[in-house]
Structure 1
């Protein structure tokens, strides 16, 4: 992992590390622990996009690596922070960024697990993956989200008042918290993020959240969804939770057996409408 060594601190040019065709900070391919041999994942072309890898100053000894996809057209664009699953930044997450960029957003996917130095997408054993994930505590991750939104606000290609967030699985819970703790977030879309403990904090929501969940998700009880709906209503906050009756956990992940194309497409359309309808436009 590259380390910045300037004695006078991080400079703007340090934060623009690589462009398309340069050596990547991130793994190639899909997460091996989730890959299905029958999968035909979506591959979004890069034509008309600028692809970058950057380092974001976050107060840590080593800055936060991130993958960025954005429209190549000049001007300022709305932005979306993309929060990964437990597998880190691999081909699926990068493609989600490119999909958003083709819709006119600056999409940035920070590597929240970089401090471990472990190549998560290359692992096949969840017993090895989960200790790495657990090292990334909520306070640390929330700080990294705030550092990312601050970085976006300072870019000449970003609308500083139009920043949203979306995340999958582990990242879905991060979305709910970001809508509570990051004042720069205008709206969030959480894909099957765990809700345990978050309903009690519904009153902290300052940004509207769309939650997309599967009724067949064995890791997220429907009672948790009901509790969050009730808590949001009681707190007078703006949130909507959609439950797809035939969808399991991970129904948007097109490289896994859990993928449900129709539900994924419906959720993607809802994501775009939600973000654009709540100021990320």
Structure 2
């Protein structure tokens, strides 16, 4: 959990699948164009613009016919792309109004990488690491507060608590969202999150006293092998602050939850999905 580069080890080098596993396969999953009407599954997909103090964040929004609890999905370091649109739609079919955001909106609209993206190439890595490097705790806090406010104003969102779920770099962002908007964020989930525990003065685990939401942390087995103390320190921080939290190591490697990743592990991804739905059912009331 100390890693902050979101790069899983042991990823195969392939011209069609990047070292991180988020190349062509990931970009090819799902529909990148918003549908103007309800689909056969009863879910509407919309491209939306979320105003923030720093500009306008492009995002995908999924909702059904009735009001439902709002949820924000924070993508991994490669950003909003078709794989995450499919995940947003799937979550909406489970009974939620889902906002999937572009974390790099200050620099470019999603998707921010070309279809030929290959994490094994230094020039391609430079794209996403450059964008991620511009994000600060200040900009993250500004954005997550704006996402909560946007959902609260949507007539597709109920008055229930809001959920945040994040993948890789998104895990730390989820923790910040829960800390800065404890009045509205009722549940937070981090899957193969990076940089959750560190010696830095702004390490996310130090935010535990400000968090009121129920939290779930799914740790990749290879991340745990590199920093086994991380999960213990994270759980202790939550327990000491009185935060209801589950920290569990999954038998899968970093990136296992995202379809299209070379680390994708369907059985463990489905287990994480079931855990997420159970969390939201308990906490988003």
Q: How many residues align?
A: 247
State how far apart, in whole Å, the 2-side matches of 1:112 and 1:151 are: 15
Structure 1 residue runs of 5 or longer lacking an equivalent are 1-29
The answer for the alignment partner of 1:14 in structure 2 is none
**TM-score, with length taken from structure 1:** 0.80
**Does 2:83 match 1:96?**
no
Report the alpha carbon displacement of residue 200 of structure 1 after superposing the two structures with TM. Answer: 2.5
The answer for the alignment partner of 1:169 in structure 2 is 168
Q: CA RMSD in A?
A: 2.6
Question: For the Cα contact (< 8 Å) 2:214–2:244, is it kept in 1?
Answer: yes
Question: For the Cα contact (< 8 Å) 1:64–1:114, is it kept in 2?
Answer: yes
Question: For the Cα contact (< 8 Å) 1:217–1:247, is it kept in 2?
Answer: no
Report the alpha carbon displacement of residue 148 of structure 1 after superposing the two structures with TM. Answer: 1.0
Question: For the Cα contact (< 8 Å) 2:78–2:112, is it kept in 1?
Answer: yes
Instruction: Give 2:112's match in structure 1, choosing from 117, 120, 123.
Output: 120
The answer for the alignment partner of 2:62 in structure 1 is 69
After the TM superposition, which residues 5-154 of structure 1 pair with which residues of structure 2 at under 5 Å, given as runs?
34-35=21-22, 46-47=39-40, 48-60=42-54, 62-71=55-64, 73=65, 75-117=66-108, 119-122=111-114, 123-124=117-118, 125-154=124-153
- Check 1:121–1:59 CA distance in 2 against 1; reply closer, same or farther (3 A cut): same
What per-residue deviation string (whole Å, max 9, x for no partner) do you get for residues 91-148 of structure 1?
1111110011111111101212011127523243212220111112122122111111
- Check 1:139–1:31 CA distance in 2 against 1; reply closer, same or farther (3 A cut): farther
- Check 1:149–1:38 CA distance in 2 against 1; reply closer, same or farther (3 A cut): closer
- Check 1:275–1:128 CA distance in 2 against 1; reply closer, same or farther (3 A cut): same
- Check 1:219–1:82 CA distance in 2 against 1; reply closer, same or farther (3 A cut): farther
Question: For the Cα contact (< 8 Å) 2:29–2:82, is it kept in 1?
Answer: no
Structure 2 residue runs of 5 or longer lacking an equivalent are 1-15, 32-37, 119-123, 198-202
Higher RCO, 1 vs 2 (CA within 8 Å, ≥6 residues apart)? 2
Runs of 4+ with deviation above 4 angstroms: 30-33, 36-39, 41-46
State how far apart, in whole Å, the 2-side matches of 1:235 and 1:105 are: 29
